[in-house]
Structures are given as C-alpha cells and as structure tokens.
Amino acid sequence: MNDFSELIRTVLIYALPVIFAITLHEAAHGFAAKYFGDTTAFSQGRVSLNPLVHIDPFGTIIIPAVLYVATGGAFLFGYAKPVPINFSRLKNPKRDMAWVALAGPGANFVMAFFWLLFGVVLQAANIEEIFFIKMANAGVLTNLVMLAFNLFPIPPLDGGRILVSLLPNKLAYKFAQIEPYGFFIVMGLVMIHWLQFWLLPVMMLSNFILKLLITPFALLLGIPV
C-alpha cells in the first residue's frame, strides 16, 4: 500500500512538468516551421498547447507505464506524437531545418529556467510545501533530460537533424540515410547505458547555464546562490 501511495505521489509530482515539457516541445517545432514557411503542422491543428493533440497512446502512456512496472522505475522512456513537418516547404530547407529542430530543445531549456525560477520564488516566499518544491525540481530535471536526449546527434532526433543541416550536402545526404534505424540505435545505446555519456555532460552544462541566468533573480529576491 505504501509503494502504491508513493507511486501516485510521484505521478502527481511529475504529471504537470511532463505534460508541459512534451506539449511545448512539439508545439515549438510547429511554431518554428510555420515561421520558416511550412504550415503543415498548423493546417493539421498540431501547433497547439493542448497536450491531448500531442499525446501518442503507445509512446506517451503504454511504453512508460510498462517500463516503469517492469524495471521498478529504474528505466523510463517515452515519446510524443511528432509534429508533421515538410522540410521542402521551408524557405531555405537545409538551413531552416536546424532552427526548426532546435526549437524543441530550446523550449525545454526555457521551461527548465521557469521551473527553476518557480523554486527560487518558493524559497523567497518561505513556502516549505514539499510537494511544490519537488514539482519544481521535477520540472527542471524533466526538461533537462528531454533537452539532452533530443539533442543527441542521430536522426530523427533533433540533434541529428541539426547535424544534417550543418554538414556539407554530400555528407548530409549520406548521414540522413541512417534515419530509419536511428530509433533502434538510440534504444541500443540506452539499454547498454552508453547514452548517459552524452546525457550527463549536456545536462550538467545546461544546468550550469541555468544557474548563471537565475543568479540575478535569486539575488534580487534575497536568495543566496
């Protein structure tokens, strides 16, 4: 019974951060694509802040639930329904692909900053409700994980698309050919615990930058940093 109560508490703490992280990440791709000339996602109603639009029943609900139960919470993975983007409709497809891809992780970085700011405000207001403190921490962690994971340089992840955009045309074409196998490559790296050698440094660097950005706000509120 205690284990079940702890599970429910954890789900409630992470629910809002995860919903925001997934929804705004995907919506950011759609907004960026529209800005650079592709209205595919916009015309299909996918440029939306409604989380139901972005939830994939299998990837967002079933896979994480099964993995949580099967591994006792030691390993989790999930994904949202990708926003449809027709890169050929962008004003400058090869260049703009990088900006569209970067928009998702960029949204996660901004959200991580606001969750961190939320934690600072709680501290400044002497609010010691552990639920909200844990939610603020969960918001930062969730978005840093999403940012780092999606920046891994293998297509179809955002980092892979950014790399394709930056490589010379001939190399970019060859590298893009691995996209159908990208998901399996990443899952293999996750299972053998090699992906952490990418995730941890990127998360640490992102967290360092966040701390630098939050310092003026913390000092203004009288919170030591």
Would you name the residues annotated as active-site residues? 26
Scan for tokens 């310092």, then name that residue.
215
Alpha-carbon distance 62 to 78, whole Å?
9
CA dihedral angle for residue 53, residue 71, residue 183, residue 205, rounded to 10 degrees: 90
* Structure-block tokens of residue 118: 């939320």
Burial tier of 33 (Cβ tally within 10 Å: 0-12, 13-18, 19+): buried
Distance CA 71, CA 84 (A): 32
d(C-alpha 36, C-alpha 115), whole Å: 29
